[in-house]
Structure 1
Amino acid sequence: MAAPCVRLNRLSTISNVLRHYSGSAALFQKTASEPSGPAEEIVIPKRKTWDKLAVLQSLASTVNRDPTAVHYMFQDDPYLVPKTSAEFRLFSLSQESGRNAAQYIVNIHPKYFEKDIAEPHIPCLMPQNLEPLIEEVSEAALKERIHLRKVKAAVDMFDQLIQAGTSISLETNNCLLDLLCYYGDKEPVRDDQLGQKESEELKEAQDDDQKRRKRGRLRRASDLLGVIWRENNNAERVFNLMPERNEHSFCTLIRGMVKYGAYTKAFSMYTDLLNNRMNADVHTFNALILAAPEVQEKYNEKWDLIVDLLKQMNEQKVQPNLLTFNAVMKSLRKCGPLARQQAILTLNEMKALSTEPSLATFDHLCGVFYKAASASRAQSEIIHEVLDELEGKNFAAQDPDDVNFFASAMRVCLDLKDVDLAYRVLKLLEVGENWKLLGDSYQQSMFYGRFFNLLCMMEHIDVILKWYKELIPSLYFPNSQGMLDLLQALDTDNRLELIPQIWKDIKQLGHSNKPDLVEEVLELMARDKHSSELQASFADCAVDIKSVYEMRDKGRASLEWTASALGNVAKLLLRAGRTQEAWTMLQLFKTNNRVPR
C-alpha cells in the first residue's frame, strides 16, 4: 500500500506545481480527460519585454530632490538661474518662446531638415506641413484645410463648394463643424507662435507679485468676455446649410455653444435635437449640466434642471462617466446651501455605479462644503474625511480640474489654521506621481506659499527654518508677504539675530525695493538693545539697507526715505559706536525734510 500512496503524493505535488505556474488546474484536468481533442499550446516567452523607459524610471527612483539646488529646468544654463518669482516666470516663458521659435523655423523651412537621423524616429521633432497642397476647389481640399486647422481657409473653401453646387458629405460637414465649435469660429494660435496671452504674461512677469496676480485675474476675465458665441456665426451658418444632420452635428454645436457662453441657445438646440428624435451623447450631457446653473436664478431651480438632465440620460440609456459626476459637483458649487446634501448623494451614486472619483471630485466637494466666510467648524471637517479617503493613493489626471485640488486644499488648511492637516496634504502630494497634479508654476507657488504662511503662524521657528531651507529656492520663491511672515515668526520666537541673514535673502529674492518689508527689518533691529556683537551685525545690515535707499534706477531713487527708516538706521549706527556714520544720517534728515524721532 505504500507505493500507491507515494505515487499519489507525487501526483498531488505535480498538480500543485502546475496549478502554481499555469494558474489553471481545470485546464490540466480537461486535457487529461480528453486526450483525443486538440491540446492548447502554451507559449513561454524567451525573454521579458520591458518598457523603453523602465531603466530610466528605475534610476530616477533612486535620486531625491536636492533642496539646495534650483529646479531642474534651469540647470542647463546656471548663469540664467532665476532668483525671484518674476525672474522664474520670465525664464520659463523665454525658454518656451525659444522652443516655439525653433519649431517655427523647422516648419517654415522644412527642406533644410529633411534628413532624419533620430533612432527611433520621433515624429514631433520632424517638420510639419502647415500649408495646404491641394489648390483646386474640392472636398479633398476642404478636408486638408480642416486637418491643418485653417479655420478661415476651410470656411472659404466650404463657401466655394456651396456656390459651385458641389455636394459635401455629412462626415466632412461634421469635421468642419467640429473645427468651428472648438476654436469659437476664430483662427487658432499655432504652437510655434507666441500668442498674445504669453506676451502679456511676459510683460507682467516684471511687475510686483500682488499687482501681477490682480492683473492676471482681470486679464482672464476679459478673455472670457472677449471669446463669446456671436449671433449667426460660421458654425451656425454651416449647420443651417447642411442638407443632412445627425446626432454628431447637434451635439457638436451644443458643446460649442456651452464652451463660449451661449447657454440658453445650447438648451434650445438640445430641444431641437429631441424634436428630431435623436439622442445626445454623454459629452453633450456633461456640457449641459455645467450650463444648467447659468440659465436658472434660484438654487432649487438650478438643481431641478440638473436632475432633469440626469433623468433624460437614464431614459436615453446614456451611461454617465466620471466627468458627468464632476460636472454635477462643479455645478453644485453654484447651488447654495442645498448643495451639501446633494453632493453626498452624488458621491453615493458614484460608488453605486463603481465610478472612482478623481481629485477634481474632492476639490468640488470641498468647495461645496467649505466657505471661508460662513462655514462652521463642523462643516469644514469634510476636508479631514476627504484626506482619510485619499491618503496613500496615487492619482492620474482624468479631469482638467484635477490640478486645482492641492492648492485649494492648502487654502482650506490655511483658513482653518490647521498645520497637521497641511502636513497630510503635503504627504499626499509626495505619494507616487501625485506631484504632477500640482499644476503650473502659478499654482505651485500658491500651494507652497500658503503652506509656508501657515508654518510661520503655527510652527516653532526651528521647524520654519527647516522648511525654509527645504523649499527655497528649489520649489518656491517667496513673495514679500512670505518674507514678512518669516520676520514676524522670528520676532515671536525671539530669534532676531537671524535678521541680517534673512536680509541677504530678501535682497537675493528681489524684495529689497518693498518699503513695508525694508522698514519692518529696520524696526525689528532697532526696537531693543542687544549684545555688542549683535549690535555690530545690525549696524552692518543697516548700512547695507542704506545703500539700497541710495541706489538709483534711471535717475530715480528705488526707495524714498521715511522718518522712521532714517531714525532706525541712525539708532542702529549709534548703538554700534559708529558716530560719524550716524551723523551722516542726521544730514539726510535735513536733506529729506524729515523730523527725527
Structure 2
Amino acid sequence: MRYEVTILQHVGHSSSWTVPLRDRGEKKNRSFSKYITESAEAIVIPKKKTWSKWAVLQALASTVNRDPTAPHYMFQDDPYLTPRTSPEFKLYSLSQESGRMAANHIVNKNPKFFQKDFAEPHIPCLMPETMELCIEEVSEAALLERIMLRKVKAAVDMYDQLLQTGTTVSPDASNDLLDLICLYGDRDPVQDDKPEAEDVQEEGRRRKGRLRRASDLVRIVWRENNNAERIFNLLPERDTRAYSALIRGMVKYGAHVKAFNTYTDMLNNRLTADVHTFNALISAAPEVRERYTEKWDLIVDLLNQMNEQKVKPNLLTFNALLKGLRRCGSLARAQSLHTLSEMKAMGIAPSLASFDHVLGIFYKAGQTDILQEVMTEVAGRTFVAQDPDDGMPVCLDTKDIEAAYKVHDLLSVGENWRMLGDSFQQSIYYISSPYFWLMFNLLCMMEHIDVVLKWYKELIPSLYYPNPQGMRDLLQALDTDNRLDMIPQIWKDIRRMGHDNKSDLVDELLSLMARDKHSPEIQESFAVCALDVKSLYEQGQGARMALEWTATAMTNITSVLLAAQKKQQAWDMLKLFKTKNRVPSEELMEEFLASIKSSNDPQHAMELVQISASFCLPSTPKLAERVLQAFELSEEQKTILSELEVSTEVSE
C-alpha cells in the first residue's frame, strides 16, 4: 500500500510524493507514521536499549545543582584567585584561557610525550592533534591528507604538482580542495593557540595610540583570480557542488556581485543550485541593491527560483531571509510576519536566531509589544544550535520586569544555557552584559524587598557581580521597604566585591545607618559596621583603599556610635575632627549633649563645650548655657564656661 504525503511549498504551491510502506496485513490499521521512511526495508526493532558512554555521567550531573553561595566553578580550583569584581573576573578568566591555549600548544607541538590515554570514555579534545604530514610522495592520498589537516597552501601545492605530472585528480578530491579553499579564504586557518593577524595589527595600532575603527581592521577579502577561481576553471567538469563552494566562498568574503555572476553562469550551464547556495545568495542580496524595494524584489526572485528548481528551503533559508529583511526598511515588518507563517506552514520551527531577527526588525521601528509575543512563543521550549547566529538575544531596554523574568527563565529550561556559548561567554552574560545590570536595577525599583533579596542570594556571588551603582540601588530598595537591618550583611558583600573604596557608596551606607534610631540589637550591628568603615579610612593612601575623610562620613560614623552607646569610640571620633581639620555639625554636638545628659557626666559636658569653642561653632554660647542649666558644676567650671562664652562672642 502507498500513502500520499502532501507538503506546502515555500511560495504556496503544493506538491506530493509517495512513500512506500510495507503491508502489515491485519495490523495495517495501526499507526506507524513515525516509522515511515523513504525506503521499503522492514522495520527493525532493537532487542535491548543501548546506552551511550556518557549516560551515567549525564545522570549524575543532573543531580548536582549550582551553589549560589559559591563563586563560579571555573575558579574553585584556586580560591585565592576568586574574583570579586567584573574586571577581576575578566582578567582571571582570560588568564585561565591563555593557560589552556598554552597547554594545547605544548601538547600539539610535542605529541610524542602525550601518547597514553587514561581517560574512560575517550576524550578526543584532550589528546594531541595530528598536525604533521606523513605522506611525502606526490599522490592523491597526500592531497587528501593535507585537506584533512586543513593545510590550504600545502594542499594547493600538491594539487599543482599532481597536474604537472599528468596525474588525474578525482572529482571528489578536487571538490574537497575547493571546499577547503573557499572556507578559509585561500589561506591557512589560524590555530587556536595563535592570534589572528588582524588582532596583532590592531594591537599595534592600539599601542601607537591610534583610534580603533572598524575600517582599520585588516579583513580577508576575495582576491581576483585566487586559487579557488583558478582551480575551479581547471576542473574538467563543474558540477553543482563546485559552483556551490565557489559562490558560498565569494559571499563569505565579500565578493557579492561576483557570486551572483557565478550563479548566472551556473544557470547557463543548465545546473540547479542546492539549498546552501540559495541561502548564501539570499544573505548577499541586500549587499548588491541600494533601495529597499530592490533588495526585497531580488530576495523574492531567488525564492521563486528555488520553487522552480524544486529546492526545499530549510531553517537557514528563512533565517537568511529574516536577516536580509532587517535591511529592508518599512517592508520588513509585514514580510517578517509572513515569513514566520510560511515557516509554520512548512513545519520548520524558528530558532533563536529567527526570533532575534524579528525583534531587531520591530524594535528598530519602535514597536515593543512584539517582545511579549516572542517570549510567550519560546517559553518552556528547549533550543539547540542550528544557525551560526543562534544564541540568547541581548537585553532590550524595555523597563519590563516580567520580560526580564521570562528571558531568565528561558535559560533554566533543559540545556538552553548552552546557547550562551562556552563557559567564559556564559559567565560574561551574567557578569558583564547589560542584561543583568538592567534586570537587577528593575528588581530594586519595582519588586518587594523579599523578592529582591531572593534574587540577590541566587545570583551573587556565583553568577553576577553588581557594580557600585547596583549596590546603591539595593541600598535604596532596603530603605524603601524599611529593611535597613540588612545593611551590615550587605556591607560584607560590598567589601568582598571590592566596592568599599567607592566614597559615594560608602557615604550612602553611612547616611542610612545614621538617619534613624532603631532597636539596640540593630544599633549594635550598625556600630560594628561603622567601626569597620572607620578602619578603612584609617588605612590611608598607602593601602589599597583610597578613601579620604570627609566631614559627612565622620559625622555619620559618630552618630551611629552614639546611638549604640559606644561613647568612648564616639569621643575618639570627635577628637579626630580636630586632627583631620574637619568641623562637626551643630546637630552632632546636640546628639553628644543628649548622650552626656543621659549619663549625667559634667566633665564630658565641659569637654564638649571646649571642643565646640575650639571649632568656633556659632552654637557654642547656647551650648554652654544649656550645660550650666542641666549640670551641677563647680565654681571653677562655671568660670571656664563663662570665659568660653565671652571668647566665642568676641570671635564672632
Counterpart-to-counterpart distance in 1, 2:55 and 2:328: 47
What is the aligned partner in structure 1 of residue 283 from structure 2? 290
Superposed, which structure 2 residues align to 1:164-183 within 5 Å? 167-183=168-184
Counterpart-to-counterpart distance in 2, 1:198 and 1:80: 32
Over the residues paired in the alignment, what is the CA RMSD in angstroms?
A: 3.9
Superposition deviation, residue 350 in structure 1 = 0.8
Superposed, which structure 2 residues align to 1:199-218 within 5 Å? none
Superposition deviation, residue 317 in structure 1 = 1.6
Normalized per residue, which structure has more helix?
1
Does the alignment pair 1:573 with 2:561?
Answer: no
What is the aligned partner in structure 1 of residue 337 from structure 2? 344
Counterpart-to-counterpart distance in 2, 1:574 and 1:538: 11
Superposed, which structure 2 residues align to 1:303-342 within 5 Å? 303-342=296-335
What is the aligned partner in structure 2 of residue 502 from structure 1? 490
Question: Which of 245, 252, 263 is equivalent to 1:270?
Answer: 263
Superposed, which structure 2 residues align to 1:53-68 within 5 Å? 53-68=54-69
CA contact (8 A) 1:549 1:557 kept: no
Does the alignment pair 1:392 with 2:380?
Answer: yes
What amino acid maps onto 2:135 in structure 1? Answer: I
What amino acid maps onto 2:576 in structure 1? Answer: T
What is the aligned partner in structure 2 of residue 452 from structure 1? 440
CA contact (8 A) 2:198 2:218 kept: no
What is the aligned partner in structure 2 of residue 195 from structure 1? 195
Superposed, which structure 2 residues align to 1:17-416 within 5 Å? 26-27=26-27, 47-161=48-162, 167-191=168-192, 193=193, 195=195, 222=214, 225-232=217-224, 234-239=226-231, 241-244=233-236, 245-371=238-364, 375=366, 379-405=367-393, 408=394, 411-412=395-396, 415-416=397-398
Superposition deviation, residue 46 in structure 1 = 6.2
Q: CA deviation digits over 1:545-587, x for unaligned, max 9?
A: 465567678x7975374xxx61221211332352433543554
What amino acid maps onto 2:268 in structure 1? Answer: N
Superposition deviation, residue 331 in structure 1 = 1.8
Counterpart-to-counterpart distance in 1, 2:362 and 2:378: 17
What amino acid maps onto 2:341 in structure 1? Answer: N
Question: Which of 419, 423, 443 is equivalent to 2:429?
Answer: 443
What amino acid maps onto 1:559 in structure 2? Answer: A
| Cα distance, 1:398–1:496 mapped onto 2, change above 3 Å | same
CA contact (8 A) 2:391 2:419 kept: yes
Counterpart-to-counterpart distance in 2, 1:92 and 1:233: 43
Q: CA deviation digits over 1:16-35, x for unaligned, max 9?
A: xxxxxxxx782599xxxxxx
What is the aligned partner in structure 1 of residue 643 from structure 2? none
Question: Which of 550, 559, 562 is equivalent to 2:546?
Answer: 559
What is the aligned partner in structure 2 of residue 19 from structure 1? none
Counterpart-to-counterpart distance in 2, 1:472 and 1:328: 41
Structure 1 residue runs of 5 or longer lacking an equivalent are 1-23, 30-39, 204-214, 591-596
CA contact (8 A) 2:510 2:557 kept: no
CA contact (8 A) 1:546 1:569 kept: no
Counterpart-to-counterpart distance in 2, 1:80 and 1:170: 55
Superposition deviation, residue 345 in structure 1 = 0.4
Aligned length: 527
CA contact (8 A) 2:382 2:413 kept: yes
Q: CA deviation digits over 1:92-119, x for unaligned, max 9?
A: 3344334433333333222233344545
CA contact (8 A) 1:480 1:511 kept: yes
Q: CA deviation digits over 1:50-96, x for unaligned, max 9?
A: 33333333344444332223333333444443333333334433443
Q: CA deviation digits over 1:214-246, x for unaligned, max 9?
A: x9xx97x74994223143273445346524333
| Cα distance, 1:514–1:252 mapped onto 2, change above 3 Å | farther
Identity among equivalent positions (%) equals: 59
| Cα distance, 1:142–1:25 mapped onto 2, change above 3 Å | closer
CA contact (8 A) 2:351 2:386 kept: yes
| Cα distance, 1:133–1:549 mapped onto 2, change above 3 Å | farther
TM-score, with structure 1 as normaliser: 0.76
Counterpart-to-counterpart distance in 2, 1:223 and 1:58: 50
Q: CA deviation digits over 1:112-166, x for unaligned, max 9?
A: 3334454554444433321112234444333322221223333444455566665
Counterpart-to-counterpart distance in 2, 1:568 and 1:197: 54
CA contact (8 A) 2:540 2:547 kept: no
Counterpart-to-counterpart distance in 2, 1:307 and 1:326: 14
CA contact (8 A) 2:282 2:299 kept: yes
Q: CA deviation digits over 1:403-460, x for unaligned, max 9?
A: 133xx3xx24xx3322233333333332222222234222344343332222112111
Counterpart-to-counterpart distance in 1, 2:318 and 2:196: 34
CA contact (8 A) 2:232 2:242 kept: no
CA contact (8 A) 1:566 1:585 kept: no
What amino acid maps onto 1:435 in structure 2? Answer: W
What amino acid maps onto 1:443 in structure 2? Answer: Y
| Cα distance, 1:363–1:521 mapped onto 2, change above 3 Å | same
| Cα distance, 1:115–1:574 mapped onto 2, change above 3 Å | closer
What is the aligned partner in structure 2 of residue 433 from structure 1? 415
Superposition deviation, residue 168 in structure 1 = 4.0
Instruction: Name whichever of 158-167 and 306-315 sits farther off.
Output: 158-167
Structure 2 residue runs of 5 or longer lacking an equivalent are 1-23, 30-40, 204-208, 563-569, 583-616, 618-652
| Cα distance, 1:135–1:583 mapped onto 2, change above 3 Å | farther
Does the alignment pair 1:584 with 2:585?
Answer: no
Superposition deviation, residue 364 in structure 1 = 1.7
Instruction: Name whichever of 98-107 and 543-552 sits farther off.
Output: 543-552
Counterpart-to-counterpart distance in 1, 2:278 and 2:336: 18
CA contact (8 A) 1:539 1:572 kept: no
Query: Alignment partner of 2:381: what SS?
Result: coil
CA contact (8 A) 1:543 1:569 kept: no
Question: Which of 380, 392, 400 is equivalent to 1:418?
Answer: 400
What is the aligned partner in structure 2 of residue 470 from structure 1? 458
Instruction: Name whichever of 165-174 and 142-151 sits farther off.
Output: 165-174
| Cα distance, 1:184–1:58 mapped onto 2, change above 3 Å | same
Query: Alignment partner of 2:392: what SS?
Result: helix
Counterpart-to-counterpart distance in 2, 1:165 and 1:522: 86
